[in-house]
Amino acid sequence: RIVARDLKPDNILLDAAGHAHITDFNVAIHYSERRLHTSVAGSMAYMAPEVVGRKGYTWCVDWWSLGVVAWELLFHKRPFDGRTADKMTNSILNDPLKFPADAAKPCSPAGQAFLRGVCASRSVALWVRV
């Protein structure tokens, strides 16, 4: 029942065996199924639309962030971009998800379907049962 709210490559460390560990829970919160959270916290480039749009969210926003991290690892850039906070917010809220032309090379069709599921939905909470 924790929402990390700041999943990004800098906060995922690998141990000697190659296992990933999430770090930096400074902005993490305990979530409640009784109400949605509305505070904005984390790193803008990895925030879900519900966070930047202040629509209310639960733990599902961490799936969005994980999708952005996976996208960045596969394609060496983030799926949504903006040089200012306003442009980044606009991109996250409005830009369609566009796979690179050579997306099939580093990412299988199943992997692309996963990324579409976590990054293309403008309401992550709708595809995951809370």
Sign of CA dihedral 100, 97, 39, 70: negative
Alpha-carbon span 34 to 71, nearest angstrom: 32
Alpha-carbon span 116 to 98, nearest angstrom: 10
CA angle 55, 61, 67 (to 5 degrees): 130
Annotated catalytic residues are: 6
